[in-house]
Amino acid sequence: MTLLENFWVLVALKALVIAAVVPLTALVLGYAELKISAHMQSRIGPYFAGGRWGWAQLIADGLKFFQKEDIIPDRADKAVFKMAPALVLMSTVALFVVIPFSPSLRVRDLDLGIFYVLAISSVSTIGVLMAGWSSGNKYSLMGGLRAAGQLIAYELPLVLAVVGAVIQAGTMSLNGIVEAQAAWGIPFVIPQFLGFVIFLIAVLAELTRIPFDMPIAESELVMGYVTEYSGFRFLFFFLAEYANMFAMSAIAATVFLGGYWAPGLSDAQLQYLGPIILVAKVFLLVFLFIWFRWTFPRLREDQLQSFAWKWLVPLSVLNIIATGIFKVVF
């Protein structure tokens, strides 16, 4: 036990666990996306890799990316081009620091929890812009600009949607928000339904998934800001995308769906069942995201912008006002 109480041993252990969890979530979610997409289109999807259900498909894909040549375009700004995927992945990994998997299983319970999440996730925008600009390619630049415009527009509803839940919980710490829901006996999705819907829409846009995938719209921009990337740098973007999907779903599950808490379970039981409950909620949200992908067509760029500024922002402000009034009156 004394070894575990050493600060540096703990830091190293936590870093190792996070470093293992991030690619693992990306593998699982990527596989889920392949399989669910396939079944929604009456296909089978990956079938042969690994022997059964094609479970090793993404591991094989990952290994393939490692072997590929690392191509850097001649006209690219080399230093910036190399740094961009690392920055994007870094901001994703940092998100995992505050996600509480059970009452005690987390890296750090920050007093600023949710605020930290929003601050860190805004950093990836810079990585995207760097990738788009440094590639020296018009498609990349357009994709980068679209991504940045989209991330700026949807950052605001994302922040404002959370404020309602924060007011209700009276704390920004993610653990505190879960405890507030446990004390209340109802997850915040019921009183904060509007906030939850706005948050989900904003998360979809932040993840640049269909129907908000204009930055990487294949039919217009090839692959947007990732066009010129290959090999393990492409793998970085891929990992960041799916790990980010997991992290943002976990945040949404924590703030609105009760996180690791489930009704009728004691604190001691939650210590062990918490991670399973949280991951189940995350998979529910991820399934929704994948379902949306095969349900909605891609929006147009101006529709996306006016939807954010004319609908989501005013609605989320309204939500804050209403929550504030209820908090003071009751």
Dist CA 258 CA 256 (whole Å): 6
Given the complex with other proteins, which of 18 and 126 has the nearer CB atom? Answer: 126
Binding mask 202-241 for other proteins (x = CB under 8 A): ----------------------------------------
Cβ-contact 124, 87 below 8 angstroms: yes
Instruction: Give the DSSP letter of residue 244.
Output: H
Site for other proteins in 70-109 (CB under 8 A): 75-77, 80
Question: 160: closest CA among 316, 323, 324?
Answer: 316
Cβ-contact 49, 55 below 8 angstroms: yes
User: Least separation, in Å, of the C-beta of 166 and other proteins?
Assistant: 10
> Given candidates 45, 50, 136, 324, which one binds other proteins under the rule CB under 8 A?
136
Cβ-contact 90, 236 below 8 angstroms: no
Q: Hey, how many other C-beta atoms are within 10 angstroms of the C-beta on 208?
A: 23
Cβ-contact 121, 248 below 8 angstroms: yes
Given the complex with other proteins, which of 132 and 258 has the nearer CB atom? Answer: 132
Token output for 62: 């990952």
Given the complex with other proteins, which of 57 and 168 has the nearer CB atom? Answer: 168
Q: Select from 20-28, 48-56, 118-126, 280-288 the region that touches other proteins (CB under 8 A).
A: 118-126
Dist CA 97 CA 25 (whole Å): 15
Binding mask 149-178 for other proteins (x = CB under 8 A): x-xx--x---------------xx------
Using CB under 8 A as the binding rule, whether residue 122 contacts other proteins is answered as yes
Number of residues that bind other proteins (CB under 8 A): 32
First to last CA, the chain: 47
| Interacting residues with other proteins (CB under 8 A) | 75-77, 80, 110-112, 115-116, 118-120, 122-123, 125-126, 129-130, 132-134, 136, 141, 144-145, 148-149, 151-152, 155, 171-172
